[in-house]
């Protein structure tokens, strides 16, 4: 290995060793399989923890009014704090949109869920496939199964 290669490898190892929380986590949204979360824990300029990442939309309609819940967990997996955030604007169809949620305190781990959203209307439910949201708003507990919509 040449000296420049050793320097680059050493710098990369130092960066990775110094930022264990900078590893991204991809997780389901907790409310709809067509929305996923890609996030990591970072710090504000003031040194406070924050969760930053993207809401990924795997559906052919934009997701509007996306609201997030970030729970700070202790080493036993118990929630010690909560913070709420949102996506500014829409999450475009088959794309992603960024979010940042500042936290009051750090924790051993974090749980992030989408607590509310609405698919943007774009025609009839029959044109887009009769899914559980079909252009209607669903508000519920994250992880709960949406009620069947009849139409």
Q: Domains of the chain: which residue ranges?
A: 21-137
Higher-pLDDT residue of 150, 76 = 76
pLDDT(147) > 90: no
**Beta strand segments in the chain, E:** 25-28, 35-43, 49-57, 63-73, 79-86, 95-102, 109-119, 138-139
Is the Cβ–Cβ distance between 96 and 39 less than 8 Å?
Answer: no
What values do phi and psi take at 113, rounded to 5? -135, 155
pLDDT(137) > 60: no
Could you tell me the CATH superfamily of domain 21-137?
A: Lipoprotein YajI-like (2.60.40.1620)
Q: What is the pLDDT of residue 124?
A: 27
Q: Round the CA-based radius of gyration of the chain to a whole number and report it.
A: 19
Token digits of residue 90: 């829409």
Token digits of residue 149: 């919509």
What separation in angstroms does the CA of 64 have from each of 67, 88, 114?
9, 9, 12
Token digits of residue 69: 């819940």
DSSP secondary structure letter of residue 143: T
Q: What is the pLDDT of residue 135?
A: 37
Of the pLDDT bands very low, low, confident and very high (cuts 50, 70, 90), residue 3 is low
Average pLDDT over residues 105-131: 73
Alpha helices in the chain (DSSP H): 3-18, 125-128
User: Would you tell me how many other CB atoms lie within 10 Å of the CB of residue 26?
Assistant: 11
pLDDT(25) > 70: yes
């Amino acid at each position: 290995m040449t000296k420049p290669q050793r320097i680059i490898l050493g710098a990369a190892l130092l960066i990775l060793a110094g930022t264990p929380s900078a590893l991204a986590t991809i997780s389901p949204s907790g409310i709809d399989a067509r929305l996923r979360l890609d996030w990591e824990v970072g710090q504000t300029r003031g040194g406070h923890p924050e969760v930053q990442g993207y809401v990924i939309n795997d559906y052919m309609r934009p997701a509007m009014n996306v609201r997030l819940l970030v729970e700070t967990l202790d080493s036993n997996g118990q929630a010690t704090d909560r913070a709420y955030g949102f996506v500014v604007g829409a999450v475009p169809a088959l794309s992603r949109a960024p979010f940042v949620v500042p936290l009051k305190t750090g924790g051993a781990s974090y749980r992030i869920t989408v607590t509310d959203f609405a698919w943007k209307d774009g025609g009839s439910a029959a044109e887009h496939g009769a899914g559980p949201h079909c252009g209607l708003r669903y508000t519920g507990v994250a992880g709960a199964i949406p009620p069947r919509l009849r139409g």
